[in-house]
Amino acid sequence: MAELAKLFENNRRWAEDNLRNDPGFFGRLAEQQTPKFLWIGCSDSRVPANHILGLKPGEVFVHRNVANLVVHTDMSCLSVIQFAVEVLKIEHIIICGHYGCGGVHAACGSRQFGLLDNWLRNIKDIYARHRAELDGIADLKNRVDRLCELNVMEQVRNACHTTIVQNAWLSGHPLSVHGLIYGLNDGLLRDLAVRVTNSDQLDTIYRLRVGAA
Ligand code: CO
């Protein structure tokens, strides 16, 4: 596989560098992982979780999809959240969007993309809920960027509405769900200040409790 030769070469150098700096590095990681954070971010190649956060392998559990969505029927994302919360006992879920997101941009338009349209539909629903504000932003780039922010806030709520997160709170497990957004232009994260730490912060219709009437 000539196309992958460069990647294997990179990988060998990376593994050697790690071993040179810390001979026990891979041995310890092979035994267990104890990440403190779950990162749910966009698949965009310019938004790599570990690099942005300055974290090494083993320090952040990662799920990425187009436009960093938490969809309540998405078994993949829900399974990641369950494993991260219930098994790894992570205490921080970070939903991170980014300005200039191609998925959010596509959701603002009418062009068909095929299967992907069903996924982007989730973002169109957010647009529809915030139509008054978004339609008032004349510049498309600024409108997309605002929808990128609104999308993160919505996904924070979606994560909190899962029984996984709510049961963690009910059991006394300290768990915070954060909404961040990343700037492709400057490489900086911004906190959207929508942190949720308990079910009191949720709309009552979404609050769930085992055995409740
Ligand atoms: Co994106």
pLDDT tens digit string along 82-109?
999 999 999 999 999 999 999 999 999 9
Task: Starting at the earlier edge strand, list the strands of the sheet with 189-191.
Answer: 60-65, 37-42, 92-98, 176-182, 189-191
pLDDT in tens, 102-130: 999 999 999 999 999 999 999 999 999 99
| Cα(46) to centroid(ligand 1), Å | 9
Both tokens of 33, joined, read 């992982």
Q: Which residues are catalytic?
A: 42, 44, 46, 98, 101
* Torsion angles phi and psi, residue 97, rounded to 5: -95, -175
Residue that has been written with the tokens 């799920």 in this structure: 63
The separation between CA 180 and the C-alpha centre of its own chain, rounded to angstroms, equals 9
| Cα(56) to centroid(ligand 1), Å | 23
| Cα(181) to centroid(ligand 1), Å | 11
CA 144-193-90 angle, to 5 degrees, is 105
